Amino acid sequence: MVNEYRFQHPETREDYEQLYEVMRRSFPDEDVDIIVRRLVEYHPEMSNTDYFMVKHGDEAVAGLVLIPQKWSIDGEELNVAEMGCVGTVPEHRRKRIQWILNKEFDEYAKSKGYDMCVLAGIPYFYRQFGYQYAVELDYETEIEVNILPEETSLVSRAFKEEDIPEAQRLLEQTQNRYLVHSIRTPEIWKMQQETRTYGAEPFKSTAILDDHKLVAYYRWWVEEKVFNVKELAFKAESYVDDIAACIRQEAMKQKAEKIKTKLSHEDDFSKYLIERGAEKNKPYGWQIKLLDPRSFLEKLGPVFEKRLAESKFKGLTKELCMNFWKYKIKLEFREGKLVSVETVSEAKRVLGMNPYASIQLFLGYRSREDLEYAYPDFYIRG
């Protein structure tokens, strides 16, 4: 069955139109074709090789896109390939076409030096391709508008392009509190401002000023009388009360009855809302796959060294062999520094590392104790 289908990257205008049609038929009334078209027309870092399609004869019947990202893990930058807009037209489903696309996606991502593949897709389906939930996603914190303070001395206005440099600094200051976070380049900032979309979602932006200086900004959208705060960054926690009042004022202007934030539950503003009775959800998660575990561990060398320096193992000199069951990797430390990471053929059963669940440990999604309890094939002895 698979031999009836062939893979290609779009090359002509007709190819792209067929890719858009795949998205229209795969996701009726969800505007996924518009999302893909926007990426083609505006994304500053994507080319035709970041768009994937499968044809049956001369007709495109499935497709997906690779959206390049950069993530930071405790200060170490990684190249990340996000798989997005994955679709197959109804009459060609259940024919293993997504296996063709995923194989091509992995090979291409690896050839381009990506460290991880990630996606925010539907539950369970992507486990067959080696993905595992490993970073929280889609937080929600909701509160009644009238609970927030009314008065503030701060001034709100529409966000302008010249606000981007300071807003980027505020965003980075906020993100650096987290072990894992994405990195937004100035080019992506400009694209998002131009298209007024973040990912697939539309937004408006508001700047908050103190004595004519930008001290906060937020991105928002109103839907069904809910004022959704999609992104918020601010200079200092001392501004939280005033920022809450600014958001309330805009929400009232938009005739919203509730305010819902999409910020981490550990964010200072989320905590502020939760203390005032806001309801919070159970987050979903990014699904993640390592393309080259050895290279990934090598890149995390500075993180391991930092952890060792802060622990009772400071100055460690030792070889650690991790048995991932499907493969084995040896890490050699000398005086607290990682000097080599190599794949080996033999490893004792001292560090038993479930090859799928271990990513949850490396990205701080689950603790060693959580994983040892949940997976009998994950253990640390000695």
Q: pLDDT tens digits for the chain (382 residues)?
A: 567 999 999 999 999 999 999 999 999 999 999 999 999 999 999 999 999 999 999 999 999 999 999 999 999 999 999 999 999 999 999 999 999 999 999 999 999 999 999 999 999 999 999 999 999 999 999 999 999 999 999 999 999 999 999 999 999 999 999 999 999 999 999 999 999 999 889 999 999 999 999 999 999 999 999 999 999 999 999 999 999 999 999 999 999 999 999 999 999 999 999 999 999 999 999 999 999 999 999 999 999 999 999 999 999 999 999 999 999 999 999 999 999 999 999 988 889 999 999 999 999 999 999 999 999 999 998 6
The tokens for 112 are 């381009």
User: Do 2-137 and 141-282 agree at the fold level?
Assistant: yes
Please list the residues that pair with 117 across neighbouring strands: 81, 289
The tokens for 351 are 């560090």
Write down the pTM of the prediction: 0.94
CB 207 within 8 A of CB 163: yes
How distant, in Å, are the alpha carbons of 132, 137, 147 from that of 286? 8, 6, 32
Provide the sign of the torsion angle of the four alpha carbons 243, 239, 195, 36, taken in this order: negative
* 141-282 CATH, one of 3.40.50.300, 3.40.630.30, 3.30.530.20, 3.30.70.1400: 3.40.630.30
> CA 333 to CA 276: how far, in whole Å?
48
CATH number, span 2-137: 3.40.630.30
Please list the residues that pair with 350 across neighbouring strands: none
Provide the residue type at 73 as one letter.
I
> CA 315 to CA 306: how far, in whole Å?
11
Nearest-CA neighbor of 273 among 171, 137, 145? 145
For the stretch 222-231, what's the b/e string if a residue is b when 16 or more beta carbons lie within 10 angstroms of its beta carbon?
eeeebbbbbb
> CA 379 to CA 372: how far, in whole Å?
5
Q: Where are the domains of the chain?
A: 2-137, 141-282, 292-380
DSSP three-state, residue 77 = strand
User: Who's near 175: CB < 8 A, 6+ residues apart?
Assistant: 72, 181, 182, 183
